[in-house]
Amino acid sequence: MTPDEFSVVRQRLEAFAADVFVPVARSDQRAKGETYLRGLLLDGRRKSMRPMAARLGVDHQGLQQFVTASTWDTAAVRARLACRAVEFIDPVAWVVDDTGFPKDGTGSPGVARQYSGTLGKVANCQIGVSVHAVTDTASCPLEWRLFLPESWDVAKAGPAAVKAAKAKQRKTLTNAPRAAAPAAPADVDAEAVATAATEAARQRRRKSAVPDDKGHRPKWMLAVEMLDGLARHGLRPPLVAADSGYGDSGPFRAALDERGIVYSVQVTGETLAHPADAAPVPPTWSGHGRPPTRPDYPHDPVSIAHHVLAAGRDTATTVTWREGSTGNLSSQFVFLRVRPAGHRITRDTDGTLPERWLIAEWPDDEPEPVTYWLTSQPADTDPTNLIRTAKIRWRIEHDYRELKTGLGLDHFEGRSWTGWHRHVTLVTAAHLFITLLRHDPKADAPA
């Protein structure tokens, strides 16, 4: 916003800040929170401390102290934001995703050379995992977690470093030309490598003030942790959508099933499943080894790509799921009922695996399906609704783009665990505020 645009909505921001910062006990901290929001909303190339303070005409050290060293309850503010966002947006789904934060140095919490889908490559970056409430017309983040690679976990950094060192040694030997190959290098000193990596992790954690109970956990586990935390505030998703980074995880889908959460998740074609009409048979015992304890399927599961190809392109149906910027969005889809396989999937007492929808997008001009989804929506769900929820993830790219380019989500330059979480909380508050403005017919200024 320009200063003139902001002046029109300033009173509304003051009222919004007074509401979302209710959990903050001290009035001076609430005032700092409102100032920080103003800095995020005002136009400016950078939304880090010094540039914002200069535009606002305040001491940047005050903002820095508020974000990195003060004592306000970040989790309580985020919970209040989430409750307000869900009430306003009335989402059709919650979307789980993650985004990368490129970094130049090594001091920011969680930074490492790791793959980022946002960047499309392995790079030096942080990864933030988030949950968003979405419809086709509005969306907003509800919760965030910072992903910690194994190199930031004291218990796992050593073994991970040894594994990486041995892999590098094998690659060097494999790639060395036979004629010019030097003498074989000495074996990796596993103890020395592990000790150095463990101490490095300990030092990084101390400098960034990473809490002792925060270690490396898979991204899907962070997502489930956020869903559980939001549930404690009475917030439950109507449906969870996610890309294959989460959908390919059998434990993630099992965790959603255990919580009674309906999902629609993208998966790769290699995911295994039985046909819907497959049935387990009573166990047989050859007399050797441990006797089987439950019925099991007589045939091995096959890939979902195999199921779709066996059904054939002729089974595809054209579905139009929403209106885009250039007209209606439609494509061709195959719908099958299957029973996904996996040791973490809960079975009935008779050994039966749950039945799910398998959806494959197979456009007329493609020789094979291009995308697959599994969803636990009911068998009688309308195909248009199945595709609408499968495709709802598009809103997240809109969120990340606005959070970063407009509100400075990835501009934070601090190096503390607390600072990162407070910055993303305040950016989330700013995003919710402009979402309210954008969808409120009484809004007088562009947002």
pLDDT in tens, 224-244: 999 999 999 999 999 999 999
Residue 53 contacts residue 39 (beta carbons within 8 Å): yes
Could you identify the residue written with the tokens 């989430």? 82
Q: Across the chain, what does the average pLDDT equal?
A: 91
Residue 98 contacts residue 246 (beta carbons within 8 Å): no
Question: How would residue 6 be classed by pLDDT, with cut points 50, 70 and 90?
Answer: confident
State the pTM of this model: 0.91
Residue 96 contacts residue 129 (beta carbons within 8 Å): yes
How far is 121 from 75, CA to CA, in rounded Å? 32
Encoded tokens for 30: 């609430």
Residue 404 contacts residue 101 (beta carbons within 8 Å): no
Domain residue spans of the chain: 3-81+402-439, 152-208, 244-392
Question: How would residue 446 be classed by pLDDT, with cut points 50, 70 and 90?
Answer: very low
Q: Name the helix (H) or strand (E) containing 200.
A: helix 190-208
Residue 222 contacts residue 129 (beta carbons within 8 Å): yes
How far is 77 from 430, CA to CA, in rounded Å? 13
Question: How would residue 439 be classed by pLDDT, with cut points 50, 70 and 90?
Answer: confident
Rounded to an integer, what is the distance from CA 370 to the centroid of its chain? 22
Would you state the pLDDT for residue 373? Answer: 98
Whether the pLDDT of residue 30 is over 70: the answer is: yes
Percent of the chain predicted with pLDDT > 70? 95
In terms of Cα–Cα distance, which of 296, 333, 292 is closest to 313? Answer: 333
Question: How would residue 187 be classed by pLDDT, with cut points 50, 70 and 90?
Answer: confident
Whether the pLDDT of residue 338 is over 60: the answer is: yes
Would you state the pLDDT for residue 189? Answer: 84
Would you state the pLDDT for residue 176? Answer: 62
Question: How would residue 172 be classed by pLDDT, with cut points 50, 70 and 90?
Answer: confident
Question: How would residue 349 be classed by pLDDT, with cut points 50, 70 and 90?
Answer: confident
Encoded tokens for 372: 């697959």
Would you state the pLDDT for residue 348? Answer: 82
Rounded to an integer, what is the distance from CA 43 to the centroid of its chain? 28
Mean pLDDT of 84-100: 96
pLDDT in tens, 374-386: 999 999 999 999 9
Would you state the pLDDT for residue 445? Answer: 46
Would you state the pLDDT for residue 441? Answer: 60
In terms of Cα–Cα distance, which of 134, 55, 131, 123 is closest to 93? Answer: 134
pLDDT in tens, 105-132: 888 999 999 998 878 899 999 999 999 9
Lowest mean pLDDT among 19-28, 158-167, 280-289, 323-332: 280-289
Residue 396 contacts residue 9 (beta carbons within 8 Å): no
pLDDT in tens, 363-410: 999 999 999 999 999 999 999 999 999 999 998 888 999 999 999 999
Residue 44 contacts residue 52 (beta carbons within 8 Å): yes
Whether the pLDDT of residue 342 is over 90: the answer is: no
Residue 239 contacts residue 167 (beta carbons within 8 Å): no
End-to-end CA distance of the chain: 7
Would you state the pLDDT for residue 37? Answer: 96
Residue 243 per-residue DSSP state: -
Cα distances (Å, whole numbers) of residue 16 to 11, 402, 436 = 9, 20, 10
In degrees, to the nearest 5, what angle opens at C-alpha 102 toward C-alphas 65 and 57?
Answer: 35
Whether the pLDDT of residue 84 is over 50: the answer is: yes
